[in-house]
Structure 1
Amino acid sequence: METLGKKYPSGSQLSKDRYQTFLKSLERHRILNADTNETNGAYYGINQFSDLSVEEFTNTYLRSYPPKKLDYYVPNKKGGNSLPSRFDWRDKHLVTEVKNQLECGACWAFSIVGAIESAHAIKGNPLEDLSVQQVIDCSYLDGGCNGGSTDSALKWLYQSHTKLVRSSEYPFKARTGICHYFSPTVYGVSIKGYKAYDFSDYEKEMMNLLISIGPLAVIVDAVSWQDYLGGIIQHHCSSGHSNHAVLVVGYDNSGDIPYWIVKNSWGTSWGVDGYVHVKMGQNLCGIADFVTFPVL
């Protein structure tokens, strides 16, 4: 409680309930860590979510879903091109800082806005924080803090010709609010289109796309991420259970275990300074099932 700034009324039923939930999480950590004898394997333990049950965590933080209508297609497989052993858009200073969605289930909005921020900067513009709250409040195809999809958020941006304003103009409130509209003369970033792919059998092509286009918004199975502290995830999540939107910003293929470098929206105290590493090549966590990116 002291380390993570948790406060419960002393002697209250809430305090007792949270303690019991915490004890259950310790047992869950033990089970998860039983499989971490691999090279650089993921390890699990106490973090800011350890006083939440799996159900509470899922219902609060895992609120993204794949599109109801699958427009996805598999790109033609390309071969023969050599890729760098490591690539990370952060090295080029083209990824904004990790954000914290708090108890607002809008990972889908953070993922898409992060992709647009980087895409805009890759085109030679200044890297700056754009408004996630604008997407939460205004995307009529999504449910604000109650959940949404990367695909429908991009569809809304494209169809409405909305310009994303700076975060300072429309700051994050961690709740769904009334959509604010801005004059056409106000500075903002709009998209010309968007793309969606299924790369589940083509992770090398996904690497190619990451390098040529920029960070990629994906929807993953993140139930086991509740307890993640670091290392490379190689177990405990699968495809077919997509529930959380994140942003793939790079990969590292130089070691024994190749992995994707993934930006999350649970603050910098979670994981590896707010990032998670997911093993490449097996579509782990369904990381390659639903890949979307904006066209600027």
Structure 2
Amino acid sequence: MKKAAIFVGIIAAGLISLVACTEINFEGDLDRSHIVSPLPYTYLEESSLPRSFNWGSIDGGGKSMLTRMLNQHIPQYCGSCWAHSSMSALADRIKIARNGIGTDINLSIQFLLNCGSFAGSCHGGSAIRAYEFIKNNSFIPFDTCLTYVACSSDSTNGFCEHVDTTCTAENTCRTCTSIDPKNGGQDFCSPIEYFPNATVAEFGNYNLDDGLFAIQAELFLRGPVKASVNAGPLLDYNGGILVDSTVNRNATHNHGVSIVGWGYDDFADIQYWIVRNSWGEYWGEMGFFRVELGKNLLGIEAHIQWATPGSFTVLNFPCFEDGSNCIREQLFEDPSNNPVTSIKRRLQQASRSSSYEISIE
């Protein structure tokens, strides 16, 4: 039996100031929710929970229900942990809903930075507000619509002063081309206004008063959850299980992560959370870390957020390479002579026409 690797975490003076990704809990965030179905802990028997469970390795067989790892630190630093953690958890839940069938759906974090200022920016934000924003506005594009550039309207880091992050059609979903002879061969970008997207059905919070079982039941039955932590001990984390009592349980939350499961170490006789970070696979344990379960170390059990996926595109409306047939101002001429009613039906079933009048409640 292998000896457990135990990491002794110490929050040194001044260490917290180095963590620039601020997890902001705005006033009233703990009361933000849209819940219409019973919560898992109300109908799951606690005795039915396994000692170990990991969405990254179902039944211990290696089949992963997790989407790809993310890195908020490239192409430059942006304090968007709130968006990375919440959207990776939501994308994982979409994959779970599809039983892992088909290519992974990853969600556009840059869209949240461009249009979801209600939720946050590169200077921090709120995961529950990100879920609420998507619910209220009925879509978030796939990340192939708009890739992450690590900039928001209030960011002056690096090249951000030269990046347009306004909430426009082109900054929601776009294509860029240089091969269209109609444009004289010049490079240009065009908005895509019929695009694959996903929605949120329900969202909510758990806190310490709800108890550990509520978190585990949510995670076990519906998928990864977003958690707030104090990232101080994670800066120099090099593997193992965070267990020592010097890891402050009540330190200020300043980072967002996603809990994907839990495990049990026989040698140390402890149960631990399996947690996904957003600092790339070169950090930690291939981008993950482990922390003892049930003691609120790092504050990880004090502020949990979750969302359930609503609809998501499985059959897209086929846009031309230059996007010319996916701009609402353009008249669509179907090259295959399909009936117009068929095209309209595909639009309704698959891709959403975006709206740029963003509502905030």
Match of 1:247 among 248, 258, 262: 258
* Superposed displacement of residue 56, structure 1: 5.2
Q: CA deviation at 1:233?
A: 0.7
| 2: CA distance, partners of 1:67 / 1:192 | 22
Aligned AA (1:42): F
Mean CA deviation greater in 231-240 or 70-79: 70-79
Deviation at 1:205, TM superposition (A): 2.7
In 2, the alpha carbon distance for the partners of 1:280 and 1:204 equals: 11
Residues 193 and 76 from structure 1, CA distance in 2 versus in 1: closer, same or farther, beyond 3 angstroms?
Answer: closer
Work out whether 1:82 is the aligned partner of 2:58.
no
1:65 aligns with 2:18: no
Find the counterpart in structure 1 of residue 278 from structure 2. 265
Name which of 165, 172, 175 aligns with 1:181: 172
In 2: Cα distance, 1:205 partner to 1:116 partner:
18
The 3-state SS of whatever aligns with 1:228 is coil
Q: 1:79 to 1:192 in 2, by over 3 A?
A: closer
Q: 1:228 to 1:39 in 2, by over 3 A?
A: same
Once superposed, which parts of structure 1, at least 4 consecutive aligned residues long, lie more than 6 Å away? 72-78
Q: Does the 8 Å contact 1:134/1:170 carry over to 2?
A: yes
- Counterpart of 1:174, as a letter, is A
Unpaired stretches in structure 2, ≥5 consecutive residues: 34-38, 58-62, 153-164, 174-191, 310-361
Assess if the C-alpha contact under 8 Å between 2:110 and 2:146 holds in 1.
yes
- Post-superposition shift, 1:72? 7.2
Pairwise CA distance, 1:122: 1.2
SS state of the match for residue 239, structure 1?
coil
Note if 1:166 corresponds to 2:125.
Answer: no
Rounded Cα–Cα distance in structure 2 between residues aligned with 1:107 and 1:268: 15
Partner secondary structure for residue 259 of structure 2:
strand
- Is this contact kept in 1: 2:8–2:243, CA < 8 A? no
| Cα RMSD (Å) | 2.6
1:295 aligned partner: 308
In the TM superposition, residue 146 of structure 1 has moved relative to its aligned partner by 0.8
Higher strand share: 2
* Corresponding residue of 1:21: none
* Unmatched 5+ stretches in structure 1: 1-37, 46-52
Alignment: residue pair count = 249
Shift of 1:79: 5.4
Give the helix-richer structure, 1 or 2.
Answer: 1
SS of 1:128's partner is coil
Q: Per the alignment, do residues 184 and 241 of structure 1 end up closer, same or farther by CA in structure 2, a change over 3 Å counting?
A: same
Q: Is the 8 A contact 1:130 1:166 kept in 2?
A: yes
| TM-score normalised by length of structure 2 | 0.63
SS at match of 1:267: coil
Matched AA of 2:264: N
Q: Map residues 1-296 of structure 1 onto 2, 5 A cutoff.
A: 40-42=5-7, 54=15, 57-58=18-19, 60=20, 62-69=21-28, 70-71=30-31, 80-91=46-57, 92-102=63-73, 103-124=77-98, 126=102, 127-161=104-138, 163-176=139-152, 177-179=165-167, 180-182=171-173, 185-199=194-208, 202-235=211-244, 236-255=247-266, 256-296=269-309
TM-score by length of 1: 0.76
Query: Can you list the C-alpha shifts for 1:107-164, whole angstroms capped at 9, x where unaligned?
Result: 0000111011111111116423221111122112133111101111111111121x22
